[in-house]
Amino acid sequence: MPSTMHEAHVAQYEFEINIDAPPSRVWRALTDQLSSWWLPDFHVLGKDSIVTLEPVPGGRLFEQDGSKGLLWYTVLAVSTNESLSLAGYCTPEWGGPCSTLLTLKLVETEGGTRLVVSDALYGLVAEKQIESLKSGWQQMFDDGLRKFVEAN
Protein backbone atom coordinates (compact mmCIF):
# COMPACT_ATOMS: atom_id res chain seq x y z
CA MET A 1 0.00 0.00 0.00
CA PRO A 2 1.49 3.38 -0.95
CA SER A 3 2.08 6.05 1.68
CA THR A 4 -0.45 8.88 1.85
CA MET A 5 -0.08 12.25 3.52
CA HIS A 6 -3.12 14.00 5.00
CA GLU A 7 -3.52 17.44 6.49
CA ALA A 8 -4.36 17.45 10.20
CA HIS A 9 -7.10 19.68 11.57
CA VAL A 10 -8.44 20.80 14.92
CA ALA A 11 -12.18 21.16 15.47
CA GLN A 12 -14.42 21.94 18.42
CA TYR A 13 -18.13 21.93 19.10
CA GLU A 14 -20.35 22.46 22.12
CA PHE A 15 -24.03 22.15 22.98
CA GLU A 16 -26.27 22.09 26.04
CA ILE A 17 -29.12 19.86 27.18
CA ASN A 18 -31.46 20.97 29.99
CA ILE A 19 -32.58 18.15 32.26
CA ASP A 20 -35.39 18.39 34.80
CA ALA A 21 -33.47 16.71 37.65
CA PRO A 22 -30.76 17.68 40.14
CA PRO A 23 -27.08 17.22 39.19
CA SER A 24 -26.69 14.27 41.60
CA ARG A 25 -29.43 12.35 39.76
CA VAL A 26 -27.97 13.16 36.33
CA TRP A 27 -24.51 12.15 37.59
CA ARG A 28 -25.80 8.79 38.81
CA ALA A 29 -27.33 8.10 35.40
CA LEU A 30 -24.11 9.17 33.62
CA THR A 31 -21.85 7.02 35.77
CA ASP A 32 -23.91 4.05 37.00
CA GLN A 33 -26.77 3.55 34.55
CA LEU A 34 -25.35 3.97 31.04
CA SER A 35 -26.82 0.75 29.68
CA SER A 36 -30.27 1.93 30.81
CA TRP A 37 -30.24 4.97 28.51
CA TRP A 38 -27.56 4.28 25.88
CA LEU A 39 -29.60 4.29 22.67
CA PRO A 40 -29.85 0.98 20.75
CA ASP A 41 -28.48 2.47 17.51
CA PHE A 42 -25.27 3.39 19.36
CA HIS A 43 -24.47 -0.15 20.54
CA VAL A 44 -21.60 -0.80 18.14
CA LEU A 45 -21.04 -4.42 19.21
CA GLY A 46 -24.68 -5.51 19.07
CA LYS A 47 -28.02 -4.81 20.70
CA ASP A 48 -27.20 -6.90 23.78
CA SER A 49 -23.85 -5.28 24.53
CA ILE A 50 -23.28 -3.60 27.90
CA VAL A 51 -21.91 -0.04 28.11
CA THR A 52 -19.98 0.72 31.31
CA LEU A 53 -18.21 3.74 32.77
CA GLU A 54 -15.53 3.52 35.46
CA PRO A 55 -15.72 7.08 36.90
CA VAL A 56 -12.13 7.33 38.17
CA PRO A 57 -9.02 8.81 36.53
CA GLY A 58 -7.71 6.15 34.17
CA GLY A 59 -11.10 4.42 34.12
CA ARG A 60 -12.79 3.37 30.92
CA LEU A 61 -16.00 4.06 29.07
CA PHE A 62 -16.33 0.80 27.21
CA GLU A 63 -18.73 -1.59 25.53
CA GLN A 64 -18.62 -5.35 26.02
CA ASP A 65 -20.52 -8.20 24.38
CA GLY A 66 -19.15 -11.63 25.25
CA SER A 67 -15.67 -11.90 23.76
CA LYS A 68 -16.02 -8.60 21.85
CA GLY A 69 -15.01 -5.29 23.42
CA LEU A 70 -14.68 -1.65 22.42
CA LEU A 71 -12.95 1.15 24.35
CA TRP A 72 -14.91 4.35 23.73
CA TYR A 73 -12.91 6.67 26.04
CA THR A 74 -10.43 6.80 28.91
CA VAL A 75 -11.31 8.98 31.90
CA LEU A 76 -8.91 11.91 32.39
CA ALA A 77 -10.59 13.79 35.25
CA VAL A 78 -13.61 13.41 37.51
CA SER A 79 -15.36 15.89 39.78
CA THR A 80 -18.34 14.03 41.26
CA ASN A 81 -21.70 15.62 40.39
CA GLU A 82 -19.88 18.32 38.36
CA SER A 83 -17.73 17.15 35.45
CA LEU A 84 -16.16 14.30 33.56
CA SER A 85 -13.29 14.64 31.07
CA LEU A 86 -12.58 11.84 28.61
CA ALA A 87 -10.03 11.10 25.89
CA GLY A 88 -10.68 8.82 22.95
CA TYR A 89 -9.54 7.85 19.49
CA CYS A 90 -11.21 7.44 16.12
CA THR A 91 -9.56 4.83 13.94
CA PRO A 92 -9.60 5.16 10.14
CA GLU A 93 -12.66 2.86 10.15
CA TRP A 94 -14.52 5.63 12.07
CA GLY A 95 -13.23 8.59 10.05
CA GLY A 96 -9.83 9.06 11.70
CA PRO A 97 -7.18 8.74 12.70
CA CYS A 98 -7.93 11.43 15.23
CA SER A 99 -8.11 12.03 18.96
CA THR A 100 -11.13 13.38 20.80
CA LEU A 101 -11.31 15.16 24.15
CA LEU A 102 -14.90 15.06 25.42
CA THR A 103 -15.99 17.03 28.50
CA LEU A 104 -19.34 16.71 30.24
CA LYS A 105 -20.23 19.43 32.76
CA LEU A 106 -23.27 19.50 35.02
CA VAL A 107 -24.41 22.99 35.94
CA GLU A 108 -27.13 23.30 38.56
CA THR A 109 -30.01 25.48 37.37
CA GLU A 110 -33.25 26.55 38.95
CA GLY A 111 -35.28 23.37 38.79
CA GLY A 112 -32.71 21.15 37.17
CA THR A 113 -29.37 20.64 35.49
CA ARG A 114 -27.74 21.97 32.34
CA LEU A 115 -25.50 19.36 30.73
CA VAL A 116 -22.77 21.15 28.77
CA VAL A 117 -21.09 18.87 26.25
CA SER A 118 -17.89 20.03 24.60
CA ASP A 119 -15.62 18.08 22.30
CA ALA A 120 -12.29 18.93 20.71
CA LEU A 121 -10.82 16.76 17.97
CA TYR A 122 -7.44 16.80 16.31
CA GLY A 123 -5.98 14.75 13.50
CA LEU A 124 -7.71 13.70 10.30
CA VAL A 125 -10.97 15.56 10.98
CA ALA A 126 -13.59 16.43 8.37
CA GLU A 127 -16.62 18.73 8.66
CA LYS A 128 -18.95 15.79 7.97
CA GLN A 129 -17.42 13.85 10.87
CA ILE A 130 -17.85 16.80 13.27
CA GLU A 131 -21.52 17.20 12.33
CA SER A 132 -22.08 13.46 12.71
CA LEU A 133 -20.45 13.38 16.16
CA LYS A 134 -22.30 16.46 17.36
CA SER A 135 -25.72 15.28 16.19
CA GLY A 136 -25.04 11.78 17.54
CA TRP A 137 -24.12 13.03 21.01
CA GLN A 138 -27.08 15.45 20.98
CA GLN A 139 -29.40 12.55 20.22
CA MET A 140 -27.74 10.32 22.83
CA PHE A 141 -27.91 12.88 25.63
CA ASP A 142 -31.37 14.23 24.76
CA ASP A 143 -33.31 11.14 23.63
CA GLY A 144 -31.31 8.81 25.86
CA LEU A 145 -30.01 10.41 29.06
CA ARG A 146 -32.52 13.26 29.50
CA LYS A 147 -35.58 11.16 28.78
CA PHE A 148 -34.34 8.34 31.04
CA VAL A 149 -33.56 10.66 33.96
CA GLU A 150 -36.81 12.59 33.69
CA ALA A 151 -38.87 9.37 33.51
CA ASN A 152 -37.11 7.69 36.44
Q: The domain spanning residue 132 has which CATH number?
A: 3.30.530.20
pTM given for the model: 0.92
77-92 tens-digit pLDDT: 999 999 999 999 988 8
pLDDT-above-70 percentage for the chain: 99
Q: Is residue 1 domain-resident?
A: no
Q: Is residue 126 domain-resident?
A: yes
35-56 tens-digit pLDDT: 999 999 999 999 889 999 999 9
Q: Is residue 3 domain-resident?
A: no
Q: Is residue 93 domain-resident?
A: yes
Q: Is the pLDDT higher at 152 or at 5? A: 152
101-141 tens-digit pLDDT: 999 999 999 989 999 999 999 998 888 888 999 999 999 99
Q: Is residue 125 domain-resident?
A: yes
Residues 53 and 135: their CA atoms lie apart, in Å, by 22
Q: Is residue 94 domain-resident?
A: yes
**What pLDDT is stored for residue 96 in this prediction?**
80
Which of 2-6, 14-18, 73-77, 128-132 is predicted with the least confidence, judged by mean pLDDT?
A: 2-6
Which whole number is the average pLDDT over 1-11? 83
Residues 144 and 152: their CA atoms lie apart, in Å, by 12
* Cβ proximity of 59 and 32 under 8 Å: no
Instruction: Domain of residue 109: give its range.
Output: 9-151
**What pLDDT is stored for residue 1 in this prediction?**
62
Q: Is residue 103 domain-resident?
A: yes
The mean pLDDT value of the chain amounts to: 94
| Torsion 133-136-141-144 (CA) sign | negative
**In total, how many domains does the chain have?**
1
Q: Is residue 136 domain-resident?
A: yes
